[in-house]
A and B are shown apart, each in its own frame.
Chain A
Amino acid sequence: MTDSIIDAQGLTKRFTVKKKAVEAVTDLTFEVARGELVAFLGPNGAGKSTSLRMLTTLIPPTSGTARVVGFDILRRPADVRARIGYVGQLTSGSFAQRVRDELLSQGTFYGMSKDASRRRADELIESLDLASFAMRSVQQLSGGQKRRLDVALGLMHAPPLLFLDEPSTGLDPQSRANLWQHILDLRAQHGTTVFLTTHYLEEADRYAERVMVMDQGRVIADDTAARLKANLAGDVLTLGFASAEEAGRAVAVVQSLTDREVRREGEASVSVTAPDGDALLPSAVRALDAAGIVVRRATGVPPTLDDVFLALTGRTLREADEGGATPADEPTDQVADDKVGANR
């Protein structure tokens, strides 16, 4: 018996899009321990939202199942719902409603007493900085204000597990940093497990303790950001020389120091991607000096998760976002084959 708060077993989701079966998520199997901060990272259409929607009981899986907060998503959806918070991609508050009213309604939806709802709403208004617009209707709020309300709504019932679907999309850097501060504070104070999707590399890199890289419906890597980068990418070293001839000779010298492939880069440069780049760089410069080749320029660039994604899939996240997006992740009006609604 493990203490996992999410235990997904073979979750698979197929949609029918224009009479063609599209597998949005394939055989998703993983566990998340209590208190973890996990990010699903991947391009648009990778299946991140579909996975989240299955885990939050919004759509039933085509096959496989999961236990979330101890309950089966198919057999006990109401018990799952009572114990999770969910911040979707869109706006959680109804545009016609006032901010504070929505928080109070949300409290009653989760069985909280009026008093408890009021206390909790005021607490969240304070901590998420909603006071200046608490009596305004949602449609009057800015994007950042709406997003803070979304998070407040997701936290009304103090869930032990919070799902966030692309929480910072559309926010300016300042609002994004603020939002993250709130999420991190929340974890520090209450030990809340946070599970989010993002296609922002820096976000996953900086905040998530564990990154699950998703592409075309599958999790293709699952580790800490640091280990993913060390194992799958590495620092990119680039050395510049005075002539193409020198660069040509340099390739063999640098190659003798590493088992990674040394490439010619442009006219008079060579580059290599290696996990121990910071140590390789000075030794390469010394070895080239000894061989009578003068290094004119040297740069070492630490890897990003984009390099990890590139190493795993052969394309960058940006390329995947532009070209690889399948309609499967946003099955708007095409879910007709899933007649088994996620009802209780």
Chain B
Amino acid sequence: MSSTTDHPAAQANPARDTWHVLTRELKPVLRDPFTLIFSLVQPLVFLGLFAPLLIGQSGVPAGETLQWFVPGVLVMIVLFGTGATGSNLQYEMMTGSHERTLVAPLSRSSLLVGRALKEIAPIIAQSLLIVAIAMPFGFRADPIGLVVGLALLAVFGVGLGALSYTLALATKDREWLFWGVQQTLIFPLMILSGMLLPLDVAPGWMRAVAAVNPLNWVVQAERALLAGELGSMVVLWGWVAALALACVGLWAGVRAIRRSS
């Protein structure tokens, strides 16, 4: 004991720790912003190869179809990019750097929350890029709606990112299990969100499942927001879905990281 009396107790400060984790996570993104393009491949493929089919099929003008389709692509960015972010943590668990951060005097929750919050940066950068790409083809976004829409995506992304990290913590070094679960979930979630094709023509059971898919509510809210219908009820429900997902994701993630060793 004689040697320890001069040491004050460590002051836990989860907010400060979260900030430090967040800024560390952002460094590779800032150092090499082009990595953001790679995770945009899937949304770009759908924008470039699926949207033309949709335009041809619907018979309505390109601008109008994009007005319907692009908000879904923005949600797709979160689904494909942020939904896979757990693999980064899983990789760091396998290579050893996660263990190093566990030995550091950081609050356990900050290790997860900081990572989840970092997802906001690529989501916003990538969304703006998609909007910019779609504009020459007749897509128009309401400016205020876009800002609120990006905020909605950010909240949704924090939740989905936290869930992705939770999955990584739960599957530990079994990479195949992480991807297995992730890939199994991603396509049903995408199709049942009405992101690619309207669900109006879907059978009743599909619409029933879609009704409890938070992705569906976020997609509908994005459509309303980018069209400038800020007061629409679907916007409210989109926020409810995103906030609920963020709460569940962060709760599950913090629990998982506290339990992991």
Q: Mark B63-82, 1 if CB is under 8 A from A, else 0.
A: 00000000000000000000
On chain A, the residues within 8 Å of B259 by CB distance are: 339, 341, 343
Determine if B97 and A91 form an interchain contact, defined as CB atoms under 8 angstroms apart. yes
On chain A, the residues within 8 Å of B49 by CB distance are: none
Bound complex: CA A26 to CA B119 (Å) = 44
Determine if A332 and B172 form an interchain contact, defined as CB atoms under 8 angstroms apart. yes
Determine if A58 and B28 form an interchain contact, defined as CB atoms under 8 angstroms apart. no
Bound complex: CA A109 to CA B4 (Å) = 22
On chain B, the residues within 8 Å of A92 by CB distance are: 96-97, 99-100
Contacting residues of chain B (142-178) with chain A, CB-CB under 8 angstroms = 172-174
Bound complex: CA A265 to CA B192 (Å) = 79
Contacting residues of chain A (35-91) with chain B, CB-CB under 8 angstroms = 53, 56-60, 69-71, 76, 78-79, 81-84, 86, 88-91
Binding site for A on B (CB under 8 A): 1-4, 7, 9-10, 12, 17, 20, 23-24, 27-28, 31, 88, 91-92, 94-97, 99-108, 172-174, 258-261
Binding site for B on A (CB under 8 A): 1, 3, 5, 34, 53, 56-60, 69-71, 76, 78-79, 81-84, 86, 88-98, 101-102, 105-106, 108-111, 137-138, 153, 332-333, 335, 338-339, 341-344
Determine if A81 and B96 form an interchain contact, defined as CB atoms under 8 angstroms apart. no
**Given A91-B96, A93-B97, are A342 and B104 also a contact pair (CB < 8 Å)?**
no
Q: Choose one: B1, B174, B261; the contact of A335 (CB below 8 Å).
A: B261
Name the distance in Å between A341's Cβ and chain B's nearest Cβ: 4
Bound complex: CA A98 to CA B221 (Å) = 39
**Further contacts, 11 of them, CB under 8 A, given A70-B4, A101-B27, A343-B259:** A1-B1, A1-B2, A79-B7, A91-B97, A94-B28, A102-B97, A109-B106, A338-B261, A339-B259, A342-B261, A343-B258
Query: Could you show 15 A-B contacts with beta carbons less than 8 Å apart?
Result: A34-B3, A58-B103, A70-B4, A78-B12, A79-B10, A82-B10, A90-B94, A94-B92, A96-B28, A97-B24, A108-B23, A109-B20, A109-B101, A138-B97, A338-B261
On chain A, the residues within 8 Å of B104 by CB distance are: 81, 106, 109-110
Bound complex: CA A57 to CA B102 (Å) = 9
The 8 closest A-B pairs by CB, nearest first: A90-B96, A70-B4, A105-B24, A92-B100, A94-B97, A82-B105, A81-B105, A343-B258
Q: Across the interface, name the chain B residue whose C-beta is closest to A71.
A: B4
Determine if A58 and B20 form an interchain contact, defined as CB atoms under 8 angstroms apart. no
Bound complex: CA A92 to CA B258 (Å) = 20
Q: Across the interface, name the chain A residue whose C-beta is closest to B28.
A: A96
Q: Choose one: A53, A70, A94, A109; the contact of B105 (CB below 8 Å).
A: A109
Bound complex: CA A295 to CA B181 (Å) = 74
A interface secondary structure, majority: loop
How many interface contacts (CB-CB < 8 Å) are there between A and B? 122
Q: Across the interface, name the chain A residue whose C-beta is closest to B5.
A: A70
On chain B, the residues within 8 Å of A90 by CB distance are: 94-96, 99
Bound complex: CA A278 to CA B4 (Å) = 48
**Given A95-B95, A111-B105, are A79 and B9 also a contact pair (CB < 8 Å)?**
yes
On chain B, the residues within 8 Å of A342 by CB distance are: 102, 261
On chain B, the residues within 8 Å of A57 by CB distance are: 103
Bound complex: CA A282 to CA B261 (Å) = 58
Q: Across the interface, name the chain A residue whose C-beta is closest to B35.
A: A96
**Given A101-B31, A333-B173, are A88 and B99 also a contact pair (CB < 8 Å)?**
yes
**Given A69-B4, A338-B261, A341-B259, are A84 and B103 also a contact pair (CB < 8 Å)?**
yes
Determine if A86 and B7 form an interchain contact, defined as CB atoms under 8 angstroms apart. no
Bound complex: CA A57 to CA B107 (Å) = 13
Determine if A3 and B3 form an interchain contact, defined as CB atoms under 8 angstroms apart. yes
Name the distance in Å between A76's Cβ and chain B's nearest Cβ: 8
Determine if B260 and A344 form an interchain contact, defined as CB atoms under 8 angstroms apart. no
Q: Across the interface, name the chain A residue whose C-beta is closest to B2.
A: A1
On chain A, the residues within 8 Å of B4 by CB distance are: 69-71
On chain B, the residues within 8 Å of A5 by CB distance are: 3
Determine if A344 and B107 form an interchain contact, defined as CB atoms under 8 angstroms apart. yes
Bound complex: CA A335 to CA B173 (Å) = 13
